[in-house]
Amino acid sequence: MASKIPSTMKAAVMTDLRQIRLVELPVPEPGPNEALVKVMAVGVCGSDIHYYEHGRIGRYTVKPPFLLGHECAGVVAAVGKGVTRLKPGDRVAIEPGVTCGTCAACKSGRYNLCPDVRFLATPPVDGAFAQYIIHREDFLFPIPDGMSYEAAALVEPFSVGIHAARRSAVQPGETVAIIGMGPVGLLAVVAARAFGAGEIIVADLESHRLEAARKLGATHTVPVGRQDPVDAILTLTEGRGADVAFETAGNGKALQAAVGALRRGGRLSVVGLPAQGDIALNIPFIVDNEIVVSGVFRYANTYPDGIRFLASGLADVDAMVTDRYSLEDTWDAMERALTARSETLKVMVYPNGI
């Protein structure tokens, strides 16, 4: 590696539940078809918070010490043998899930379903709360000079919205209802705009998130708690219902509302992961109205479009970053994201300085 790359780096390591410690680690060396990336921005995701607070998500269990963080972007510092698409100095968005490329899912183009995916910050794979990480070349995507590292990091949650729009086949001019305005829901608003949605109706409990959704392109907002989302969406669509609904809250009631808000023949993308596995749904309604239900697991083949959409200025996603922390203050960043949902949108950590 080039001499300007240090031999050691700082990393913010999870050592126990709700515990983060700054440590010194060796800077890794890229192997064949890999690049060493100097990490410039990492968004704190809901899954990071869940691991931080509970230590597990389903069958994935944290075994400390462990590095969180998978929404990330940076600059290529060095490349290994066989790398042809990248060179040191290239600014890149990092797609966090490295797949095998040879299984049936990968070969069919649905590589998000690869059983052997190695996804940053999904145990046992360490994440990006470090000054440098190694990543395979084909999951690194150059970004234009005018695109911020923050926006490039947000391509990851934005990709979920793109995948949801593709799964539900959003068409120009259609009405899209989105239940849940966390960061994924907010970026799903941008995705719906990118796919040409005519009306975008959003629902959430938090007024500041509804306001953020309006700034990103939502045409109507429904304050859950003061209005029933199904009634509101039916009223706004003159009783017809939405053409498409995204459930992004990970909540049983939100999922039921998303189904009930659809027109006959409507399509639903289920994005959120609820804590409980069994949720009662109105099956006669789904059958009688031929509702098409699609699960959305991460994304596949979205990064080039995601970068293009966000770099175009379609929406000011940089404004979603409400809180900024240095790597040394990662514990504060995690606590802020965990305890201040009513005040924050996206918390960002900067491993190599703000």
The pLDDT tens digits of the residues spanning 280-321 come to 999 999 999 999 999 999 999 999 999 999 999 999 999 999
Domain count within the chain: 2
End-to-end CA distance of the chain: 25
Q: Is residue 60 part of a domain?
A: yes
Alpha helices (H) along the chain:
46-54, 104-107, 149-167, 183-194, 207-216, 229-236, 252-260, 283-288, 303-311, 330-339
d(CA 154, CA 219): 22
pLDDT of residue 277: 80
What average pLDDT does this structure show over 186-215?
A: 98
Given a cut of 90, whether residue 275 has pLDDT beyond it is no
Which of 67, 180, 204 has its CA nearest to residue 123? Answer: 67
Given a cut of 90, whether residue 58 has pLDDT beyond it is no
Q: Do 46 and 16 lie in a common domain?
A: yes
Q: Do 37 and 119 lie in a common domain?
A: yes
Q: Do 168 and 291 lie in a common domain?
A: yes
pLDDT of residue 1: 41
Instruction: Please report, to the nearest 10 degrees, the dihedral formed by the alpha carbons of residues 293, 296, 300, 303 taken in order.
Output: 110
Q: Is residue 50 part of a domain?
A: yes
Q: Percent of the chain beyond pLDDT 70? A: 99
Q: pLDDT tens digits, residue range 137-172?
A: 999 999 999 999 999 999 999 999 999 999 999 999
For residues 150 and 348, the answer to whether their CB atoms sit within 8 Å is yes
Q: Is residue 1 part of a domain?
A: no
pTM of structure: 0.96
CATH assignment of the domain containing 90: 3.90.180.10
For residues 207 and 138, the answer to whether their CB atoms sit within 8 Å is no
Q: Do 54 and 118 lie in a common domain?
A: yes
Collapsing DSSP states into helix, strand and coil, what is residue 153? helix
Given a cut of 70, whether residue 3 has pLDDT beyond it is no
Q: Is residue 233 part of a domain?
A: yes
d(CA 76, CA 34): 10
Q: Is residue 271 part of a domain?
A: yes
The per-residue b/e assignment along 76-112, b for 16 or more CB within 10 angstroms, e otherwise, is bbbbbeebeebebebbbbbbbbbbeeebebbeeeebb
Q: Is residue 148 part of a domain?
A: no
Q: Do 272 and 164 lie in a common domain?
A: yes
Q: What is the DSSP string of 203-233?
A: EES-HHHHHHHHHHT-SEEEEBTTB-HHHHH
CATH assignment of the domain containing 164: 3.40.50.720
Q: Which are the contacts of 23, defined by CB distance < 8 A and separation ≥ 6?
A: 10, 11, 13, 65
Q: Is residue 309 part of a domain?
A: no
Q: Do 46 and 118 lie in a common domain?
A: yes
Both structure tokens of 155? 């391509």
Q: Is residue 176 part of a domain?
A: yes
Which of 37, 11, 289, 40 has its CA nearest to residue 151? Answer: 40
Q: Do 132 and 170 lie in a common domain?
A: no
d(CA 255, CA 245): 10
* DSSP 8-state assignment for residue 141: E
Q: Do 71 and 184 lie in a common domain?
A: no
Q: Do 62 and 116 lie in a common domain?
A: yes
What average pLDDT does this structure show over 330-350?
A: 96
What average pLDDT does this structure show over 234-243?
A: 98
Q: pLDDT tens digits, residue range 90-144?
A: 999 999 999 999 999 999 999 999 999 999 999 999 999 999 999 999 999 999 9
Containing domain of residue 255, as a range?
Answer: 158-295
pLDDT of residue 25: 98
Q: Do 65 and 134 lie in a common domain?
A: yes
Given a cut of 80, whether residue 2 has pLDDT beyond it is no
